Chains A and B, each alone.
Chain A
Amino acid sequence: MGAPSAIEVRGVRKRFRIYHQRNQTLKQTLVNRGRGSYEEFWAVRDVSCTIPPGSTLGIIGANGSGKSTLLKCIAGILVPDAGSVKVRGRLAALLEIGSGFHPEYSGRENIYLNGALLGLPRRYIQSVFAEIVAFSELERFIDNPVKTYSSGQYMRLGFSVAVHLDPDVLLIDEVLAVGDQAFQRRCLDRIDQLKAQGRTIVFVSHGLGAVRDLCDTALWMDHGVARALGPTERVVGEYIAKVNQMEAARLEQEMTSHPILPGGRAGVGITEISYVGRDGPTALFETGDPFELRIAYTAPVPLEGARFYVSFVREDGVVALTVPTDDRLLHDKVLPAQGMARLVIPRLPLLEGLFRVTVGIAEIATGEWYTLLDRIYPFRVNTTDRAERGVALLGQSWSLPPPLRRRLSA
């Protein structure tokens, strides 16, 4: 590998002062004799990484792990207290959409100003101006002051200028997390183009999906330290494993700390709910795992003509499945006053996400609920080593024409 690296970060440390009392004026400083008392906080401690030209690095990690601080050090906005940062080529940093906008200015004027701030010559902006405006879909508003823009319009204009940047090194902080779906897609497309042209991109994000899609290398920051650096799949995998481990501990706690108080209409109630996997009760499943939902119920007298009801709701509100028991089978049956209903899924088809269940028991004759527990107990589904995305597997398979031959490996 003879090519020089695009970004070289060596032993970077950055410390912040957290002021208890901050004297920001001469008067206060003189009266209180000093700039105020503060504690030191190391936001980044000894991080090193080398990014070859043309690669895309994703920085992941929890809030406050030092991701953005590191990015600002690379951008040159913050100066590290120790270590060095070297960037080869023209750098553009995009730390906040529209941060260079002047509210009194028209969209047109702001495109020029923002472009200049990001290092683009006026002549270049002139040549891509029409493209920027078209990309933002703001043709009709381009001569209005941006203070009259809606937040969506404001964002679109910022994005458009940003994705028409033409730097050798592009730093992006979380900005793709906003904007509507269609627009976000176009931005990602654009970034993909830049990538294809061999630009170096550093991308800070909470969205692991975006990091997986865009980045070939990932850096996992944890409390200011680089926990892992390497191929995206491996690093993201390690990160997810850690997050899951922590979440499992949290879910487990939630599981035991929420006993259900039986009690509903006519004394019919649910006493316990549990998820059972391959190795017993758990709240963590892998797509394709055996899954069982157990509902323990109680009633003062044997249950006549009752309907059980379960609904799986993903965290974003998507209902993956609603499944009641069959009224035709149960309307004339009498069930014991205490018992357990089980919903069995031999191979869980749900794809990655956090799900909750809504569980209820209703009277078939009147349709009225005895009891209904809305979106209780979360469980997590992970999808590893699978290419499918979405809510659930559909039992799908591909059929392709028979291959002519095997490709000669390069």
Chain B
Amino acid sequence: MATKEFLAVPSVGGPARVPPSGALARNRELLTELVRRDVKARYRGSALGVLWSLLNPLLFMAVYTVVFSVLLAAVYPGGVPAAAYILTGLLVWNFFSQAVSFATSSVLSNSGLVRKVAFPWVLLTVSSVTAALVNYVISLVLLIPIYIIFHLPVGLPMLLLPVLVVIPYVLALGVGLLLAAGNVFFRDLEHLVQVGLLVWLYLTPIVYPPNLVAQHDHGLGGHVFSLFFKFNPMTWVIGAMENVVTRGLWPIHWHGLVYAAFVAAVLLALGIVVFQRARRRFAEEV
């Protein structure tokens, strides 16, 4: 053995042992840190911070209310005020579209980590969707003044809210995992996703009432649109959310909600499978 030049100093004690913990607990810790990072990063960049994330849906609510309710004289289900209907839908949609678009770039934008640090990279995508969820939950405070101003009913159906939050979360995660993996190999996917989300927004009854589609269900265009409308899981998520939040009702279209949950579960399973297959080549591709 070679002599040690300067290592001969007797070592006193040593680092304390880390308490043993399962992979699950460690991943939860890491996910918490990553979500913390993602949430902070979102607010740290802009001067207005949290305020801006609340102002944004209010501004859009105002614009859409003027366009659809005042100019186009749309009537919303149950005679609910346009502003209440639109804001409720927008908050859900903002959450979903933020979650999907952040998830899409989650792996590629952390290429430094993926190349150098071994950890379950799927947590990058989970964390970006979860960070959007945190924003969403914060943004729900906007509903409080809406409840007060429009005297919206409060009732038992509100117990369903957690489910109505979980379904779009799972859906966004499933779609996000597929897109995150795809974006590593095709880097223009990010931009296509932005366009896609904008189209999807208008295919979902968020700013206009759902009966508008039924009224125009004729001609080829109308048929295609109403087909999209029916198969779009977000239609049913938003619909149920509107029932619960703006009218204090249990969801009218239960079957639609079950369908949305089913689609979300299938997409999540598919997303996990595709992501785990693709991740074998992430470190080489990013």
Residue positions of A touching B, CB distance < 8 A? 16-17, 24-27, 29, 35, 72, 75-79, 90-91, 93, 95-96, 99-100, 102, 104-105, 109, 112-113, 116-124, 127-128, 163-164, 166, 185, 188-190, 192-194, 196-197, 209, 212-213, 232-233, 387, 389
A29 touches B26 (CB 8 A): no
B113 touches A100 (CB 8 A): yes
Q: Which of A24, A99, A193, A232 sits near B112, CB closer than 8 Å?
A: A99
How many inter-chain residue pairs (CB < 8 Å) link A and B?
126
B116 touches A95 (CB 8 A): yes
A128 touches B15 (CB 8 A): yes
Select from chain A the residue with minimum beta-carbon distance to B18: A166
| Chain A residues, CB < 8 A from B33 | 112-113, 116-117, 122
Asked if B283 lies at the interface with its beta carbon under 8 angstroms from chain A, I say yes
Produce 1/0 per residue, B98-136, CB < 8 A to A: 000000000000001111111100000000000000000
Known contacts A105-B40, A188-B6, A232-B1; can you find 4 more A-B pairs with CB under 8 A?
A: A26-B189, A113-B37, A116-B34, A119-B119
Select from chain A the residue with minimum beta-carbon distance to B29: A121
| Chain B residues, CB < 8 A from A113 | 33-34, 36-37
Please give the distance in Å from B118's CB to the nearest CB on chain A: 4
Residue positions of B touching A, CB distance < 8 A? 1-7, 9, 11, 14-19, 21, 25-26, 29-30, 32-34, 36-37, 40-41, 44, 112-119, 185-189, 192, 280-281, 283-284
A119 touches B30 (CB 8 A): yes
A213 touches B4 (CB 8 A): yes
Give Cα distance in the complex from A163 to B15, angstroms. Answer: 9
Known A26-B186, A72-B283; contact A233-B9, beta-carbon cutoff 8 A: no
B6 touches A185 (CB 8 A): yes
Select from chain B the residue with minimum beta-carbon distance to A78: B283
Q: Which of A24, A35, A75 sits near B187, CB closer than 8 Å?
A: A24
Give Cα distance in the complex from A209 to B4, angstroms. Answer: 9
B117 touches A128 (CB 8 A): no
Known A120-B18, A233-B1; contact A26-B7, beta-carbon cutoff 8 A: no
Closest 8 A/B residue pairs (Cβ): A116-B33, A99-B116, A25-B188, A79-B280, A166-B18, A75-B118, A212-B2, A26-B186
| Chain A residues, CB < 8 A from B112 | 99
A387 touches B3 (CB 8 A): yes
Q: Which of A78, A189, A209 sits near B9, CB closer than 8 Å?
A: A189
Q: Which of A35, A72, A76, A117 sits near B30, CB closer than 8 Å?
A: A117
Please give the distance in Å from A182's CB to the nearest CB on chain B: 10
| Chain B residues, CB < 8 A from A121 | 18-19, 21, 25-26, 29
